[in-house]
């Protein structure tokens, strides 16, 4: 009996012992992009209110997304980096919005427009939607965990410049989606990462709402980095007829073209398989690019993020078993690009958009070429 008891507690004890050791030697900065903080955007009840579209329990049936056209052939793109003197993009924030389905708080999004004169002016979702050019591609980027407001504002300008400079004559409208991915911290890294992973997933509802307000004629490319890939996949899963945390999105993103790019994907590699966490995500995209880095150092510890975690999609990629289980048309939508040689152990988002070859791989998805 004593041996059975010993075997029963040995596994959990060793798991949490490793968690403690890892937390002592790591900090959120290891897998983040922290800078000195600025105050978060002020919560204004007049900015970006939901127009009655709220999550509904998943017991209510949801229709799958409309059938999209077959993937368009992607050609390589030559580019040269040049200065981008007049950036104009939007930052859409859920940092002051409800972050739990059971939380009584404010639904809605804060919107800020970065104008060519360098100012960041407050706006709203309706104004943003009216300013978008119908038919022109829209690119929405979602950052990962441990990213502060100031860090996102700085990197938004840098990423916009990198993508615009790579194809200066190609039009695209860029939106940077930011969610509350920073403190407070427990300083137990696996616990902090797990909390933010769940929060990122919930923000799929906010991203779905944002997409539903974009003119339907605008094709949309979703880019996620690290835990931001969960925001992206959650929104796609909802759009494809799935539920997140027991609820479905009752709005609609319309019959638009959608593409997705996953960078440093902090998800289990099998979560896009049918019946798994984001098993409906591929229903709603015409193609998906996974940037695989087999040496991503922070994601080497991904197995600590939750019990029975599999290898991360960023390091493992889609396995043959995953592709076989996805099968058919959805499997044909998947493309993988190995960026291990370009990045090595690096993980941070600036290291992705700062690399010419990686940007070149993303361009056909962003510009719908």
Residue 16 confidence (pLDDT):
55
- pTM (2 decimals)? 0.81
Share of the chain above pLDDT 70, in %: 76
CA distance 239 to 231: 12
Q: Which residues pair with 89 in a beta bridge?
A: 114
Q: Is-contact 201 208, C-beta < 8 A?
A: no
**8-state DSSP, 12:** H
Q: What is the pLDDT of residues 293-327, one digit of tens each?
A: 999 999 999 988 777 788 999 999 999 999 999 99
Cβ-proximal residues to 22 (8 Å cutoff; 6+ apart), any chain: 189, 190, 301, 304
pLDDT at 248: 96
- Where do the domains of the chain lie, and which CATH numbers do they carry? 2-33+77-367 (3.40.50)
Q: How many CB atoms lie within 10 A of CB 101?
A: 14
Which is more confident, 60 or 311? 311
Instruction: For 46-65, give the secondary structure using H, E and C.
Output: CCCECCCCCCEECCCCCCCC
pLDDT tens-digit profile of 75-120? 333 333 333 444 689 999 999 999 998 888 889 999 999 988 888 9
Digit-coded pLDDT (tens) for 181-230: 998 888 888 889 999 999 999 999 999 999 999 999 999 999 999 999 99
Q: What is the secondary structure of 148-171 as a DSSP string?
A: -HHHHHHHHHHHHHHHHHHSTTS-
Angle, to 10 degrees, between the axis of helix 189-213 and the axis of helix 228-239? 50
Whether 334 and 288 have beta carbons less than 8 Å apart is answered as yes
176 pLDDT more than 90: yes
Which of 4-18, 40-54, 70-84, 127-141 has the highest mean predicted lDDT (pLDDT)?
A: 127-141
Spatial distance between the Cα atoms of 335 and 109, rounded to a whole number of angstroms: 32
């Amino acid at each position: 009996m004593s041996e059975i008891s010993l075997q029963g507690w040995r596994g959990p004890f060793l798991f949490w012992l490793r968690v403690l050791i890892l937390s002592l030697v790591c900090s959120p900065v290891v897998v983040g992009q922290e800078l000195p903080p600025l105050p978060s955007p002020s919560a204004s009840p007049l900015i970006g209110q939901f127009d009655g579209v709220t999550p509904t329990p998943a017991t209510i049936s949801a229709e799958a997304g409309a059938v999209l056209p077959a993937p368009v052939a992607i050609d390589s793109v030559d580019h040269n980096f040049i200065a981008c003197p007049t950036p104009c993009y939007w930052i859409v924030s859920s940092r002051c919005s409800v972050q739990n389905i059971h939380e009584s708080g404010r639904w809605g999004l804060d919107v800020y427009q970065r104008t060519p004169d360098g100012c960041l002016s407050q706006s709203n979702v309706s104004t943003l939607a009216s300013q978008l050019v119908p038919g022109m591609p829209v690119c929405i980027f979602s950052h990962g965990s441990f990213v502060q407001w100031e860090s996102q504002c700085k990197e938004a300008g840098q990423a916009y410049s990198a993508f615009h400079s790579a194809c200066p004559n190609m039009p695209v409208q860029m939106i940077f989606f930011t969610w509350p991915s920073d403190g407070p911290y427990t300083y137990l890294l696996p616990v902090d990462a797990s909390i933010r992973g769940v929060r990122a997933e919930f923000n799929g509802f906010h991203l779905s709402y944002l997409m539903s307000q974009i003119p339907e004629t605008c094709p949309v490319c979703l880019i996620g980095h690290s835990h931001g890939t969960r925001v992206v996949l959650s929104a796609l899963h909802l759009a494809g007829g799935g539920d997140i945390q027991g609820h479905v999105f009752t709005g609609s993103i319309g019959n638009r073209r959608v593409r997705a790019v996953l960078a440093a994907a902090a998800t289990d590699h099998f979560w896009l398989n049918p019946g798994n966490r984001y098993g409906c995500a591929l229903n709603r995209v015409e193609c998906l690019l996974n940037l695989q880095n087999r040496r991503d150092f922070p994601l080497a510890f991904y197995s600590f993020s939750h019990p029975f975690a599999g290898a991360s999609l960023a390091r493992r990629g889609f396995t043959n078993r995953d592709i076989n289980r996805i099968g058919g048309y959805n499997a044909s939508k998947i493309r993988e690009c190995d960026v291990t040689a370009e990045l090595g152990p690096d993980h941070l988002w600036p290291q992705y958009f700062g690399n010419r070859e990686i940007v070149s791989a993303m361009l056909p998805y962003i510009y719908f070429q």
